[in-house]
A and B are shown apart, each in its own frame.
Chain A
Amino acid sequence: MLRCGYALFWLLGSVLLICVVSPVKGEAVVTREGSHLKLSESSHSNESQHGHSSNITGIPIISFKWHHVETPYLVAFWVLVSFLGKLVIEANHHVTSVIPESALLICFGFILGGMIWAADKVQTFRLTPTVFFFYLLPQVILDAGYHMPNKLFFTNLGGILVHAVIGTCWNAASLGLSLWGCQMGGAMGDLDIGLLQYLLFGSLMAAVDPVAVIAVFEQVHVNDVLFIMVFGESLLNDGVTVVLFNVFDAFVSLGGPKIDAAEIIKGIVSFFVVAFGGSLVGLVFGLLISLLTRCTKNIQIIEPGFIFVLGYLSYLTAEMLSLSAILSIVFCGMCCQKYINANMDENSVQTVRYAMKAFANGSETIIFVFLGISAIDKVIWVWNTGFILLTLLFVLVYRFIGVFFLTWILNRYRLVPLEFVDQVIMSYGGLRGAVAYGLAVMLDENKIKEKNLMVCTTLIVVYFTVILQGITMKPLVMWLKVKRAAVTEVSLLEKLTNKMFNHTLVAIEDISGQIGHNYMRSKWKYFEENWMSWILMKPSARKKQDQVFDVFHQLNLKDAMEYVTEGERRGSLEFVRNENSIIDFKKKSESESFDINNANMSNDHGAMSTTSRDPIPSVSLEMHEQIMKAVREAEAINAHHLLDQHLYKSRKQHRHRFSRSHFDINRDEKEVQEIFQRTMRNRLKSFTSAKMGVKPPKTIVKHTQKEQQQKMPNGKSMDKAKTSYSGDEGSEGDSASGYDQSYMRATYRAGAGIENPAFMPDLDPMDLLQIPPWLGESELDSSMVALSHRAQVDLPRTPSNLRRLAPLRISTRSTDSFTLENIPDTQQMDSDQLQPPPPPPRPPRDDGYV
């Protein structure tokens, strides 16, 4: 029997090895050989080192001190090996798309274990409960808590809790009792296991493992509700299982006869105390972290460390108080996420995110590899077909029964019932993992004679669920046509609608006179916003709490980044600058032009102004292709010229690179001075040249003008600069917005070297404001006819109204259109247009301009 199971695993391992290795054969072989060599080397060196140290005669120049570094060396080495394994596995995309990574990692562990065993003839490395529970598990759970979608979680909290608590208890009890029954019936031969031991075994098998669940489900992308049900359950029931395990462990130590009603009641009470106490500890630590990050502004470099250290401390504290450590760290992460993300610097938040993922992913990898390694050990393999197969069967069947029954009850209270296929996936997603194994190893051999059988069975259940169920999960999801998660990005309207729905639901609940979820949620939100945020959040962070605005901000940032990348891909930075300014003007000036359109609606412009808005969202890059092509040649020449002329090539002095608390390289005062002076000189030059009317991109301007003029409905004769770039706007290209935008664009085209105004803070809003557009009419030259016309049409708008809008223009950097239209002194305009791009342009511009 034993040999049979052995051979099976070897076979499986080698088959998978072939799958893994075949595409990158060379690389994989090298890795494996390398690790193998190192391993055997280390075991040999053990012996050689002993001999060496004993006969030291003089001062050795170098000495080989393996024992000195052994433990940390091995740890680091194993981490490296696991990571390399993951590297190799992830390099084979066609394999990971079929077999989940976790299963492959376990198989990789088999291979490693086999090699160690072949070298040492005994399994020296295995996953010990201490290492697992103290060093590997916390970061995985913390990551899960920290990245938990809170709203989704709490919306489904009822269902999750029912499954996590009742479902787990059901699993534990049913498995234990059934196995016991089977033993009574004589299905498994002669085993020395009592009822309590069976229940203990059942409780350790009951836990659905979050590590395994994430690893599998993250590749299948099922819908959010299903995911949170499975994942939330797996997280919370870990806590529950550990509690159950401890209770039953105590019962087992107490011994059957001594257990009376009082003890059982104590057990049940301790169950709740442990679970809620653990959560409470987590909450306290979460609040503590939030409070701390309020005042870590001056130690930004280590501020991410607080989250990890305090998170870990919450885990240890709960463990110390014999409360549920897992629940503690979950709630710690969930509780603090919002506040620390708001309190900390953007960089620190990113650091936390990445570090969290790095730790979690790393330890997940190690866990799986070691789960595999642990299998290759003669000692634990005690085969009992009946026990093992029955356990497998019961685990699977009772999971299905439990999920279906509980969901049936829950569905009567759910707005959107969980469908049948969802329930199937939920049941099938009951993967067991390292927690079960860790608990099984923790069993006390003195109290439970058949410990090794239990460990062995646990391992088989883990392999069965993770490997087989993991592999079949994806086809099953496909086959059952489970609703998948939407992979679209959020749009503003969706966000807005969501928010509006929330408000509406609260109102409807209020109107219909009942206190429901939505009412409670709005009350909680009110409390949270007014009290918790006030205490836990920095005042500055509190302001930016609006979700809709947040999405807006994110989208804008993304656009900006996309344009920069796009421009850089095309090779010219100069080009990027201009492109950005255009797009941004276009996008932002939309509001302005649209207002105007609205005003126009009433009069004869109405018909065309409805079509005047840019039909293509400004996010689209394609629509700018044409202009960009047209402009490019001229620009390239211009850009090179400007770069040669203005780029100040100073020696970079990275004095603060060694600093541990600052990333920035501080600029030399003199350097800044010199840049400033050069810039000013160049500006003067360009100013004089502009006065003589030498504008580089004139040619293109003429080129696009032709096609444009036909589209002008008013038939106004346009200044070339003004109309030049409306062409790209396609069919609309007329009316106020058309003029505005085209004009702006022309301006920026002309000043090819201007720094991108879209991404600059406002410099001088006030002096621009002083010339409102409707006052500047008298100053208009012939080229401004159309604009002045518009201004007149727009007069119904009160000045105050426009003034309200004016800051919008400023803030969106479209002010230049107005300055250019109306400002009498051309000086400012010219210097503005032809201002060169100095490499670090901000400081000098600030000084020189204001």
Chain B
Amino acid sequence: MGSRASRLLREEEIEEIKKETGFSHRKITRLYRRFTSLDKGENGTLSREDFQRIPELDQVNFRGFMRTLAHFRPIDQDNEKNKNPSATEPLNSRTNKLLFAFRLYDLDRDGKISRDELLQVLRMIVGVNVSDEELGSIADRTIQEADTNGDGYISFNEFIMVLEKGNVDVEQMMSIWFLH
């Protein structure tokens, strides 16, 4: 407990995080409290035991934690409009949201989704009632659908192309309303 108290968030750190992620001061402190309560090992990082399914989040410090959560901030309208081109894209931009989603599939981080990766994701998501064979053919079909260049993998570009079609509201689906 003492160690946690000593590792209280420093002001400049908050400022940096604020700049990078766009969270407000209050939200950052609130999420820091949450972070420390999740951090069972009390070493300032969350490890795989703390999270199981989210690959982005194995072994993260608070900075990374915030960066991940920032992907889920709703896209702010005024930011979109007066965006100066020199600034780096904010973490909650559409592309970054999509990239985050893509990485959820791309388990081995090679920039493309293979059948095996897709099958793993499917197995996690699809109900228990669907048999392995069916899952297999679903995975095949999914890849076939998206795979425009025919290499048997879904690349990030192909992934975007499928989701651009408009049936998935990325802004809506990849955003949550963070409490203060």
Interface residues of A (CB under 8 A from B): 225, 413, 415-417, 485-486, 488, 490-494, 496-505, 507-509, 511-514, 516-518, 543-546, 548-549, 552, 555-556, 587-588, 590-591, 594-595, 597-598, 610-611, 613-618, 732, 804-805, 807-808, 811-812
Contact = CB atoms under 8 A, between A and B. Distances in A.
B53 A590 contact: no
Contacts of A544: 129
13 contacts: A225-B169, A485-B166, A493-B145, A497-B168, A498-B167, A500-B101, A505-B72, A514-B178, A516-B177, A544-B129, A548-B138, A588-B137, A594-B152
Contacts of B37: 513
B133 A488 contact: no
Interface string B102-139: 00110000000011100001100111011011101111
A488 B145 CA distance: 13
Nearest to A519: B176
B53 A501 contact: no
Contacts of B116: 598
A228 to B, nearest CB: 12
Contact of A808 (B72, B122, B137, B142): B137
Contact of B172 (A416, A610, A805): A416
A612 to B, nearest CB: 8
Contact of B144 (A496, A504, A617): A617
A546 B129 contact: yes
A514 B177 CA distance: 9
A416 B168 contact: no
A804 B135 CA distance: 12
A485 B169 CA distance: 11
B4 interface: no
B91 interface: no
B167 to A, nearest CB: 5
B29 interface: no
A502 B53 CA distance: 14
Contacts of A613: 150-152
Given A511-B38, A546-B130, A501 B171 contact: no
Contact of A486 (B122, B132, B140, B166): B166
A498 B168 contact: yes
A815 to B, nearest CB: 13
Contacts of A616: 150
B141 interface: yes
Contacts of A508: 69, 72, 176
Given A500-B101, A500-B121, A804-B132, A549 B126 contact: yes
B133 A808 contact: yes
A504 to B, nearest CB: 7
A416 B171 contact: yes
A597 B175 contact: no
A415 B150 contact: no
B127 A545 contact: yes
Given A416-B171, A490-B167, A500 B137 contact: no
B121 to A, nearest CB: 7
Contacts of A549: 126-127, 129-130, 134, 138
Interface in B65-103: 69, 72, 74-75, 77, 101
B141 A587 contact: yes
A203 B145 CA distance: 52
A500 B127 contact: no
Nearest to B153: A610
B14 interface: no
A501 B163 CA distance: 12
